[in-house]
Copies of this chain bind each other. A is one copy, B any other.
């Protein structure tokens, strides 16, 4: 009759579930970069049919997390330093652009969202890492959310995820919190709320590049 675990009852469909799970497994590195993704294997893992798996993989292609080779199945997107640096650089360029646009078009609602998402991020710092990660992304996306260009924001979100993936792949452990991340976020927030685009962007890019350098070092191993 009914289906299994749909905890809070939002979107439920085998495809959507498979999509979310696979996405998470690739982002966390549970499915290693470059790995062949066999339908049967995943079918067993996700306890669903072949069609949803296949469709989920097709969807993950959009996110550049999965590669599809016609007639030869799917594989987790490969990862290497060059790709990582490409992502970092593109991300800096596009987020700089988006943040400037957001600030240029600043509205009270947007600012309030910044304050809120930042607050929630701070509150989530002790909790499960997944919760913090979610809040962290939400805050960063809120910074760009007023750019007036949905596609630009989409690209930024995509690059954000790809970057997170590298963080997970490189730093198995997560003791990378040597820097004062919280202070960096506050700097960005403050500059944004004061409509200081140059400063906000400087802080934002510094925030990304510092993490980037740390990860690049890890990846040499």
Contacts and interface: CB of A to CB of B under 8 A. Distances in A.
Interface stretch (A52-60, A180-188, A199-207): A52-60
A62 interface: yes
Nearest to A50: B51
Contact of A62 (B13, B61, B86, B87): B61
Contacts of A13: 70-71
A161 B8 CA distance: 39
A155 B59 CA distance: 17
A86 B149 contact: yes
Interface in A88-103: 89-90, 93, 97
A46 to B, nearest CB: 17
A39 interface: no
B97 A93 contact: yes
Contacts of A59: 58, 61, 68
